[in-house]
Amino acid sequence: MQNAAFDACGLDWQYEAFDVDDVLEAVAVLRAGGYIGANVTIPYKEEVVSACDEAEGDAVNTLVFRDGRVVGFNTDKEILAGIDATRACVIGGGGAAKALAPSLPADVRVFTRSGDWPPDATGCDLIVNATPVRDELLVRPAAGQTVVDLAYGPDETVLVAAARAAGCVVVDGREALVRQGAASFRLWTGIEPPVDAMRAAVRT
């Protein structure tokens, strides 16, 4: 997706994926290697904050290497941009859920397997799945609710399929990826992201 965006803007940049065991060491290597920035995904969104000279909150997913410093940003909050909700059912309590916290309504019910369980979205107008669970219906959506599912892959999750069948407004994992990725692109490049090219890339 990011490479498609770079190509669309005529940038000779390359986005690469790395598996890491030690995220703090990885950040040090990237900073020393002349990289412009990086994305950080679960389970490192909270731990990586300690590698930042400045961070936006307790969980970040985007790093910018600038003037010898590491600045961490939370572009996950852009996933909920434009969603007007008064009460949210959030499934999951890890870094992904914490990154969305600034954009959630004041009334939030959080459900985790180690805490309150199973999830109950009664009376909620927003459901957020902030776990990687794709093939289990953790809560049953109803008409009138907005469903945001952060789990993404080539096929729809069980939750997204149920939400579409119920007539819900849906932000699936691929659209969520584009929304946060577009904000990361803007931070790295300083130019407006080619969102259509990014959407096309994640849908193919």
* CB half-sphere exposure, 176, CA atoms < 13 A: 24
Given this model, what pLDDT does residue 72 score?
97
pLDDT at residue 149, as a whole number: 97
The pair of three-digit structure tokens given for residue 12, joined into one six-digit string: 């000779």
Q: What is the dihedral of CA 163, 165, 169, 173, to 10 degrees?
A: 50
Domains of the chain: 2-76+177-203 (3.40.50.10860), 81-175 (3.40.50.720)
Q: Which two tokens stand for residue 55?
A: 């961070």
In sequence order, the β-bridge partners of residue 89 are 109, 127
Model pLDDT for residues 129-146, shown as the tens digit of each residue? 999 999 999 999 999 999
Distance of CA 65 to the CA centre of its chain: 20
Q: Quick check: 1 pLDDT over 90? A: yes
Catalytic residue, chosen from 45, 174, 179, 199, is 45
Q: How far is residue 120 from each of residues 127, 135, 142, 162, measured CA to CA in Å?
A: 10, 18, 12, 15
45 part of the active site: yes
Q: Biggest alpha carbon distance in the chain?
A: 51
Residue listed under structure tokens 């994640």: 202
Q: How far apart are CA 201 and CA 204, in angstroms?
A: 6
Confidence grade of residue 96 (pLDDT, cut at 50, 70, 90) = confident
* Interstrand relation of 62-66 and 87-91 (parallel, antiparallel or unpaired): unpaired
More confident residue, 187 or 154: 187
> Residue 89: phi, psi to the nearest 5?
-105, 110
pLDDT for residue 124: 98
